[in-house]
């Protein structure tokens, strides 16, 4: 069966646009424990995913699941508080659906945030890391199936998946804020079990600095549509086997909570610069 994701995305976008007069060109996806940023926007309209036609619902703890459309010092912005993951049982197309809706809303840039395990031994728990590239180990790709030319080409290029321009802006703003910001390669796995220590040694060998269970399908779908991407991970824990302790989702949430002010400060500084770069 082929589903017409383009038409479904159009309908979902029309539903969203009927609730607000704001027409954001930039979006931010807030990962585990980072949803609070959306609460700092003004003139907000909140649209729970459950109300949006065809939209998948977030079930993970720490993800409340709504669009918050509002303004960041006057800049129209759509924030996604919570996302869906493959480990919840969603298909890659469902995971990518919100990106398709953002594309139909006219969004040109997306900032993706996530929680990740730190593989690179130079990282510390709580570090913020710019994703410069990814390795897709999810065994899935949201573009599998007939290509919808409305979205983009059959074989989209991924050499500049994570905008160099945007990364430069993020580094500049982090430096102004006095925030250390590393850069690394994100390995996307499906989860939901954390990795074994042997898997982490393997991921380090193949060039990964970070590991997480999200982001990849969204980036692929966004790039397919020509949307520019900035992605930032919070190293919520050192990956399995690095420290002599078990991993837990509580630790992920606790670290997210601890660094959320820094993360928010960085987003607040970076988002207007990305919007300005688009107009230049």
Scored b (16 or more CB within 10 A) or e, 212-223 reads bbbbbbbbbbbb
214 is catalytic: yes
Instruction: Supply the minimum distance, in Å, between the C-beta of residue 238 and ligand HPA.
Output: 8
Our CB check for ligand HPA shows the closer of 117 and 142 to be 117
Q: What is the smallest separation between the CB atom of 251 and ligand HPA, expressed in angstroms?
A: 8
d(CA 127, CA 224): 30
| Residue 54 is among the residues annotated as catalytic for this protein | no
Least gap, CB of 95 to ligand HPA (angstroms): 15
Distance, CA of 91 to CA of 102 (rounded, Å): 18
Residue 77 or 203: the one with the smaller Cβ distance to ligand HPA is 203
9, 27, 99, 213: the catalytic one is 213
Nearer to ligand HPA, 110 or 211 (CB): 211
In sequence order, what are the beta bridge partners of 114? 233
36/31 Cα distance (integer angstroms): 10
Q: Is 124 among the residues known to form the active site?
A: no
> Which of 54, 249, 254, 264 is flagged as catalytic?
249
63 counts as catalytic: yes
Cβ-in-10-Å burial (0-12, 13-18, 19+) of 175 comes to exposed
Q: Which residue is nearest to ligand HPA (CB)?
A: 117
CB-CB contact of 41 with 71 (8 Å) = yes
- In angstroms, the Cα distances linking 53 to 9, 115, 150 are 9, 28, 20
Count of all residues that appear for the chain in the document: 280
Nearest residue (CB) to ligand HPA, 116 versus 174: 116
Q: Is 88 a catalytic residue?
A: yes
Binding residues for ligand HPA, rule: CB under 6 A, are: 115-117, 194-195, 211-213, 236-237, 239, 247, 252
Which residue of the set 237, 238, 239, 240 is catalytic?
Answer: 237
- Token pair recorded at residue 12: 């979902």
- Which of 32, 109, 120, 233 is flagged as catalytic? 32
Q: Which is nearer to ligand HPA, 166 or 194 (CB)?
A: 194
Catalytic machinery residues: 32, 63, 85, 87-88, 115, 213-214, 237, 249
């Amino acid at each position: 069966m082929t589903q017409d994701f383009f038409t479904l995305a159009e309908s979902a976008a029309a539903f969203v646009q009927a609730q607000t007069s704001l027409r954001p060109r930039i979006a931010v996806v807030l990962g585990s424990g980072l949803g609070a940023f959306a609460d700092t926007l003004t003139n907000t309209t909140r649209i729970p995913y459950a109300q949006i036609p065809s939209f998948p619902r977030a079930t993970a703890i720490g993800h409340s699941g709504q669009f918050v459309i509002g303004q960041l010092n006057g800049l129209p912005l759509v924030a996604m508080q919570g996302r869906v993951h493959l480990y919840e049982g969603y298909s890659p197309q469902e995971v990518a659906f919100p990106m398709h809706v953002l594309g139909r809303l006219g969004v040109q840039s997306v900032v993706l945030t996530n929680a990740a395990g730190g593989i690179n031994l130079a990282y510390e728990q709580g570090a913020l890391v710019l994703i410069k590239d990814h390795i897709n180990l999810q065994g899935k790709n949201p573009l599998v199936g007939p290509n919808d030319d409305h979205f983009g080409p059959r074989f989209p290029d991924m050499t500049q998946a994570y905008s160099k321009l945007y990364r430069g802006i993020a580094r500049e703003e982090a430096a102004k804020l006095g925030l250390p910001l590393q850069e690394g390669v994100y390995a996307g796995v499906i989860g939901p079990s954390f990795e074994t220590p042997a898997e982490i040694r393997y991921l380090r060998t193949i060039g990964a600095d970070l590991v997480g269970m999200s982001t990849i399908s969204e980036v692929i779908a966004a790039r397919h549509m020509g949307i520019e991407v900035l992605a930032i991970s919070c190293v919520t824990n050192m990956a399995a086997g690095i420290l002599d302790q078990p991993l837990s989702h509580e630790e992920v949430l606790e670290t997210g909570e601890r660094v959320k002010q820094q993360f928010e400060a960085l987003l607040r500084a970076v988002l207007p610069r990305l919007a300005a770069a688009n107009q230049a």
